[in-house]
Chain A
Amino acid sequence: MSRQVVAHASEVAPGSCKIVVARGRDIGLFNIGGEFFALSNRCPHKGAELCRGMIVGLAQSSLPGEYHLSRPGEFIRCPWHGWEFDIRTGQSWCDPKSVRARQFQVRVESGSQLLKGPYLAETFQVSLEENYLVIDL
C-alpha cells in the first residue's frame, strides 16, 4: 500500500471534481461540502470516464407527479449511459438483478433504501493532511 499526494485541497472546490493520475490510475477527486472522496475514473459498466460526467443530486419520488431532490451534489452520472453512482461509496443505483421488498416505500430523506446494483465504482481512501489530499493505493 502506498500513499501519494495527488492535489492541494484548494484545487478541488466544493461541488467539483478534479481528475488526477496516481500510479497510472485515473482518479476523480470530489469535494462534497468539505469532505473529500475519490473514485476510479473508469465506469464499471462499459469503461467510460466516469468522473467526467455530471455531478447531480438524487431524484426520488413516491408517486407519479411527485418529485424530491435529496443529497444534492453527491452523485455522479456517467457521461456515456447516464448511470448514477454514489460519490461517497461508489455504489451504483438501479439494477434489475437486485432483490427488493415488495412493499417498497421511498423515503425522501435518505438515499440508502434505493435499489442498489452490484456495480461498484472503485473507491480510494483519501485523507486531508495539512491541506494536501493523499490517496491510499
Chain B
Amino acid sequence: MNIAVREAPTAQQLRVVDCDIHPVYRTPAELHPFMSARWREHMATFGTHFRHGLHGQLPYPRMMAAGMRMDAFPEDGPPGSDIELMRRQHLDANGVEFGMLIALSRGGMEERNLDFGAALSSAINDWQLECWVKKEPRLRAAIVVPQENADDAVREIEKRASDPAFVQVMISPRSSDPLGHRRYWPIYAAAERCGKPLALHVAGYSGGHPSTGSGWPTYYIQEHYAMSTGMQNTLASLVFEGVLERFPKLKVVMIEGGFAWLPALTWRMDKHWERMRAETPHLKRSPSEYVRERVWFTTQPIEEPENPEHLADIMEWIGWDRLMFSTDYPHWDFDDPRQVFKTRLTDEQKTKIFRDNAKALYGLQ
C-alpha cells in the first residue's frame, strides 16, 4: 500500500545547529583574490598534486552527481556554491540557527607540495570569511591547515586564532601518519592554546595509504564504509599516543564518520589496554574515560537499524551530550532534521542533539 510520510515540524518550529555544511567555489577563480600571483599561476599550470592516479577526480567514482544531491544544483555552478540556494533550500527551510562550514575543496590537507598547501589553506580560509561568513551570520568557519607540515599549520592557526568566525581547526583523519603521531602535536598545542576544537572530517583523498589496512578496496561501497573504520583507527591513535592526556583542554569533533561504532570501540580499547598497559605508561586514564570527556560525534550519516530502538541503546551508551546533529548538505546521504530520528527520543534528548550540545561546544549564542 502507499505510505504517506508523516507530518513533521515546520521550519519555524525547528531550530537546529548543523555541524557539517560544505561550501564549494563556483570556479577556482573565486580563490584568486586570496592568492598571490605566484600561486595563481602554479594552480593554473600544475594544479593540485595528490596521492592518487587521477587528476582532480576521485578514483572511486560516486553514484550520482559526484556525490552531491541532484536536487541541490543552482542555476550556475556546483551544489554548495550558491549562498542564496543554500539559504532557501537548507538554512531557511530546515530551521538552521547556526551552520558549521567544512570546506573540503582543494584545501591544504592533502597537497603534496607543502608550500602550495599552505597557500591554498590560507586562501580557503579567507574565502570562507569573505564569501560565506560575512554574508551569512548563521555560518561559522573552520580553519583549514596544511596539516602535513606542522610549522605552517601552526602559523595558519595563529593567524585566525582570535577571529570568532572560525570555531574549530579542521584536519583530515586520512593523513600520512595516524593523527596521534607526535609530528602533529604542535598543531594540537596551537588549537588548545586558542581554545578551538579539532574538527576531523572524513576525506576522499588519502595520505597515501589504502583505506583498509589490508589493501585497496575495489568498490565505492567499500570506500564509503572505510570512512568509519578510518575514524575508529584515528580515535584509537589520539588515545593511545596520549594526545588527549598531553593536551588536557583539547576537544575533538568527529564529523561524518558515523557514531554507532563508538561503544564497541571503547569497550575494545579498554579491554586490551587493561592487559597491555605497560606499553603506554603515558596514559593515566582508561581510553573510554578520555573519549567520554573530550570527543563529540556528528550524527550524519545516521545508522538505520532494522529495529530503531536499538539506536537508542547506542546513543545512551555514548551519552546524550556527545552527539551533534549534522546534514552534510549538499552531499548525498543527507539527513533531514524532520525525518532523521526513527528512534523515539524525548524532547530533552532531541534538543541536546539538535542544538544545545553544539551551542555549548562552540560557544554559540
Task: State how many angstroms separate the Cβ of B44 from the closest Cβ of chain A.
Answer: 33
A48-70 residues at the B interface, CB under 8 angstroms: 48-49, 52-54
> Which single residue of chain B is at the shortest CB-CB distance from A43?
B5
Q: Is A82 on the interface with B (CB-CB < 8 A)?
A: yes
Cβ-neighbour of B338 out of A47, A82, A97 (below 8 A): A47
Which A residues lie within 8 Å of B1 (CB)? 120
1/0 contact trace for B1-36 toward A, CB 8 Å? 111110010000000000000000000000000000
Q: Tell whether A79 pairs with B70 under 8 Å between CB atoms, given A42-B5, A120-B3.
A: yes
Cβ-neighbour of B3 out of A44, A48, A54, A79 (below 8 A): A44
1/0 contact trace for B32-75 toward A, CB 8 Å? 00000000000000000000000000000001110001111000
Task: Give the distance in Å from the alpha carbon of A79 to the alpha carbon of B1 in the complex.
Answer: 23
Which A residues lie within 8 Å of B72 (CB)? 79
**CB-based contact A96/B70 at 8 Å:** no
Which B residues lie within 8 Å of A52 (CB)? 70-71
> Which single residue of chain A is at the shortest CB-CB distance from B63?
A82
B304-352 residues at the A interface, CB under 8 angstroms: 306, 332-336, 338-340
Task: Give the distance in Å from the alpha carbon of A123 to the alpha carbon of B334 in the complex.
Answer: 24
Task: Give the distance in Å from the alpha carbon of A81 to the alpha carbon of B3 in the complex.
Answer: 18
**CB-based contact B2/A123 at 8 Å:** yes
> Which single residue of chain B is at the shortest CB-CB distance from A118?
B3
Q: Is A46 on the interface with B (CB-CB < 8 A)?
A: yes
1/0 contact trace for A76-111 toward B, CB 8 Å? 010111100000001000001100000000000000
Which A residues lie within 8 Å of B3 (CB)? 44, 118-120, 122
**CB-based contact A48/B2 at 8 Å:** no
**CB-based contact B64/A77 at 8 Å:** yes
**CB-based contact A47/B8 at 8 Å:** yes
Task: Give the distance in Å from the alpha carbon of A90 to the alpha carbon of B4 in the complex.
Answer: 13
Main secondary structure of the interface of B (DSSP, over half): loop
Task: Give the distance in Å from the alpha carbon of A97 to the alpha carbon of B2 in the complex.
Answer: 17
Which B residues lie within 8 Å of A47 (CB)? 5, 8, 336, 338-339
Number of A residues with CB within 8 Å of any CB on chain B: 24
Cβ-neighbour of B332 out of A80, A120, A122 (below 8 A): A80
**CB-based contact B333/A81 at 8 Å:** yes
Task: State how many angstroms separate the Cβ of A137 from the closest Cβ of chain B.
Answer: 13
Which B residues lie within 8 Å of A97 (CB)? 306
> Which single residue of chain B is at the shortest CB-CB distance from A56?
B64
Which B residues lie within 8 Å of A49 (CB)? 71
**CB-based contact B63/A80 at 8 Å:** no
Task: State how many angstroms separate the Cβ of A135 from the closest Cβ of chain B.
Answer: 15
Task: State how many angstroms separate the Cβ of A73 from the closest Cβ of chain B.
Answer: 16
Which B residues lie within 8 Å of A44 (CB)? 3, 5
Which B residues lie within 8 Å of A53 (CB)? 64, 70-71
Task: State how many angstroms separate the Cβ of B126 from the closest Cβ of chain A.
Answer: 32
**CB-based contact A54/B70 at 8 Å:** yes
**CB-based contact B334/A80 at 8 Å:** yes
> Which single residue of chain B is at the shortest CB-CB distance from A123?
B2
Task: State how many angstroms separate the Cβ of A17 from the closest Cβ of chain B.
Answer: 11
**CB-based contact B4/A122 at 8 Å:** yes
Interface core residue of A42, A46, A54, A96 (most chain B CB under 10 Å): A46
**CB-based contact B335/A48 at 8 Å:** no
A16-45 residues at the B interface, CB under 8 angstroms: 42-44
Task: Give the distance in Å from the alpha carbon of A49 to the alpha carbon of B93 in the complex.
Answer: 13
Which B residues lie within 8 Å of A48 (CB)? 69, 71, 334, 336
> Which single residue of chain A is at the shortest CB-CB distance from B62?
A82
Q: Tell whether A46 pairs with B2 under 8 Å between CB atoms, given A54-B70, A79-B69, A80-B69.
A: no
Which A residues lie within 8 Å of B4 (CB)? 122
**CB-based contact A79/B71 at 8 Å:** yes
Task: Give the distance in Å from the alpha carbon of A110 to the alpha carbon of B338 in the complex.
Answer: 37
> Which single residue of chain A is at the shortest CB-CB distance from B64?
A54
- Interface, chain B (partner A; CB < 8 A): 1-5, 8, 63-65, 69-72, 306, 332-336, 338-340
Sampled A-B contacts (9; CB under 8 Å): A42-B5, A47-B8, A79-B71, A80-B334, A80-B336, A81-B332, A90-B2, A121-B2, A122-B4
A48-B71, A82-B333 are known contacts; what are 7 more A-B pairs with Cβ within 8 Å? A42-B5, A47-B5, A53-B64, A53-B71, A79-B72, A80-B333, A97-B306
Those 9 A-B pairs whose CB atoms lie nearest each other, nearest first? A52-B71, A79-B70, A46-B339, A79-B71, A122-B2, A79-B69, A47-B339, A44-B3, A80-B334
- Interface, chain A (partner B; CB < 8 A): 42-44, 46-49, 52-54, 77, 79-82, 90, 96-97, 118-123
